[in-house]
Structure formats: C-alpha cells, structure tokens
A = this chain, B = another copy of it.
Amino acid sequence: MKKYQIEQINHLQEKINRMDPIDIAEHFDNLTAYEIALRIKLLNKDLLADTFAELSKDKKMEIIEILSDEDTHELIKELDENELVDTLQELPANMVKKIMQHFVTEDRRPVINQLLGYPEESVGSVMTVNFLAAKDHLSIQAIYDLVFQSDLDANKLEQIWITDGSLRLLGFIYLADLIRYPQAQVSDLIKSLTRTVLATDDQEVVAKLARKYDLSEIPVVDSENRLVGTVPVEWAIDILADEYHEDFGNIHGINDAEEINYLKQSDFTIAKSRITWLIICLITASVTGFIIQRYEVTLATNVALAMYIPMLMDSGGNAGSQSSTTIIRALYLGELQGVSFMKVVLKELRIGFIVGLALVAVNMVRILILDSVDFQVNLVVSITLLMTVMLSKVIGGILPLIADKLKIDPTVMAGPLITTIVDTASLMVYFEVASRLLNI
C-alpha cells in the first residue's frame, strides 16, 4: 500500500470516528459492500455498535454476512441490550437462533429473552435495562463508589435510582448532588417520583408522560413496583413523533409504516397501502348516490340545485373535521376526562350555530351577486348550510368520543366515517328542504 493511500485511510478513520452514528448509518446507505467493510474495520467498536443499531434491516443483514465470526462476536458484545433486542426482532428466525446460540454470552441471554417477550409497542419493548440502582440504606459515599465502578454509558448515570431492601423503587438521586453533598444522607437528596409506568403499558403512555412532566428519565416498574428499566426522554420523543405520524396516517388514510422512505418504496407497495382506505370510502360514498337517486325528480325539476351540492358537502366535511381535530386533541391532552357527551354536543351545536350563521350570510350575498337563481333556491341552500354545519360539528365532535369509549384510536375513525355521515346527512337535509320549500 502506498504512503498516499495510508494517509487517505488515516484521514477517513479520523473523520468517521468523529461523526454521529446516525449520520454514519445514513452514509452507509449509499455505499457498496466493500466500502462498508472498510469503514467497519476503521470504526471504534462502540461507535460501530451504535451505528449498526441505526441501520435498516437489510443493511444489518448485509453487515452480519460480511463480518467474520470474531467480529460478529465483538459487535454483539458492544450492542447494549436494547439495541440487541431491536436487531433480533428485525432479523429472520434462523439468524436470530444463530446469534443467540453463538454470539450472545450466556449471562445476557435471560434478560434478552425477557425483553424479547414484551409485546410490540409496549413500554417493555422500548425501555433500557442499563441503569444504576442503589439501596436506600447505603451511604452517599457508597453510592458514589457504585458510580465510580460502573461501566454503564455516562449518559445512563445522571440519575441513580434508589430502592428499598425488596428492590421496590423509592425515588432517585441526581449524580450532581452526590458530588455536591458528600456528607448528606440518601433521605436528604432523594427526589420523589412523579410518575412510573408499567413495562406492559402502551408506549404511548411514556410519550404522554414525558410531554406533560419535564422528566429526563421515565422509570419502568413491574407490578410489584420494582424497577425493571427506564425510558430516556431522548427515546420518548421518537415514540411521540411516531404516534403523531400514525395519527396523521390514520386520518388521511395512509399506512404510515409502508410509506416510510417514500422515494425508495416501490410504487406498488405504496399503492397497496393506500387502496383499502379509498375502497372503503368509495363504497360508503355510494350511499350518497342512493339519496340523490331517491330525489331524482326534485333534482330534474330544478337542476340548479345540483350547483350547490359540492359546496354544501365541502362545508360540512370541513366543519366536521375542525371539530374532530379539536376533540381528538382535547382527548389526547386529557381535557375531557369525566365530561359528558351531552356537554360536548351542546357546545358544538352552539359553535355550529354561530359559524353557520356567518357562512349563511356570506353565501347569501355571494349567490345574490353571482348566481342567477330564484331567491327560493337561495333560501333552501341557506337553511341547508346552517343545518349541515351544525350537524357536522356535532358528528365531528361526538365520533372521536365514541371511538375513545370503545377503546378504538379516535384517529382511525376520524377521516372516512365523518365524511360519509356528514355527506349523507347534508344531502338528505338539502333535498328534504328543497322538496318542501319549492313544492316539488
């Protein structure tokens, strides 16, 4: 190897070892197997492990194929429990078996198996088991010594968890206080816990807690209140973001998971993830067809009525989605705990009345100026508009509440169901009012 090349490689080594594992992982996406192999050799072991944990499933498998048994062993050793479990959950069964048998040391297997047992999207599946706990009878000096001897990552040591003799969680002490108050007692320094979560709770609980309380670590306990793990808020923020994207996806009918990496995902996969929802909407929308068919005579006698169908439907749909968005948000923030349906219905009715009147005023003027239709048609449209907006507000407000009561994610129900119900209702009102007022 020429001197020039060695210098180049030294330079590369220096550079990539200063990068963030997430950036290295992104970088790997665009490299050939050979280029990746070279970089794996150059990366510090702990950085390699962190980078590996951030890679896509395919890249992970590619890298495991490249690595010698010895290197694989080293890599698996450097992965912390959480990273290892995430990896194992992605890999095919035969690879998992091989890794567990050959590369996971015997002392780690019980905890790995336990973590693998938590259901997907549970707190247990996202927590870390790397934390430092100390019994409450210890002296501050003894706890300080525990930190001194600990080989945990430094960012896992900000808080030292305090338990009683039966390992039940009592609170925590900040590392900084250990340094500043060496003469104190545990009871002087201990901070009580605002909230704990169960390993079997939905991960969403962690995200909500982290959002509401300014916690930097959320302690995870078992049913006996023994500490089994923690979720750092750095991870809770990812959970929150995922939950939000899931909500967006639910409301707008996309399967979020399959639309990740928009450009790389095949057209067919994306199309497949979108079709189901559209077909459901299409079929439910055919109800509106039947209503129009039922009033075909009314419509034929006064074709001008057709002009306002889109406007009425859009106004209803928009008014309804405003309400459902607000209610979903209020549910999420816990503002509606113990509040009766009726209270929301009445509030939305009142809001709908105010909003509806404003819209009717604007619309009446618009029709008078721009459209050459009978005043009676204007009146029919106005009455329908007011009623549609009020109805939509109530429907949009109450559907998420029903979903919540039925323990269904309100966002799943928000999109298509509201549109269909609102469309149907507004068309029925429209033609009913029309056939009475226009004497058809």
Q: Footprint of B on A, CB under 8 Å?
A: 18, 20, 22-23, 144, 147-148, 150, 152, 154-155, 157-158, 174-180, 192, 194-195, 210-216, 232-238, 240-241, 244-245, 247-249, 252-254, 256, 259, 261-263, 267-268, 270-271, 274-275, 277-279, 281-283, 285-286, 288-289, 292-293, 296, 299-300, 303-304, 306-311, 313-315, 317-319, 321-322, 324-327, 329-330, 335-336, 339, 343, 347, 350-351, 354-355, 358-359, 362-363, 366, 370-371, 389, 415-416, 419, 423, 427
Contact = CB atoms under 8 A, between A and B. Distances in A.
Contact of A154 (B174, B214, B283): B174
12 contacts: A144-B179, A150-B180, A155-B174, A245-B329, A252-B321, A277-B322, A281-B314, A289-B307, A289-B371, A310-B427, A314-B423, A317-B317
Identify which of A215, A282, A362 gathers the most chain B CB atoms within 10 Å of its CB.
Answer: A282
A253 B155 contact: no
One complex includes copies of this chain to the number of 2
A48 to B, nearest CB: 16
B252 A315 contact: no
Nearest to A244: B244
B234 A214 contact: yes
B318 A254 contact: no
Contact of A309 (B154, B236, B310): B310
Contacts of A319: 274, 278
A321 B293 CA distance: 28
A283 B313 CA distance: 13
A180 B347 contact: no
A102 B336 CA distance: 41
Given A296-B304, A371-B293, A311 B325 contact: no
A253 B283 contact: no
Given A233-B234, A267-B354, A281-B318, 10 more contacts: A22-B212, A216-B232, A216-B233, A233-B237, A236-B237, A237-B237, A252-B318, A254-B326, A283-B362, A285-B315
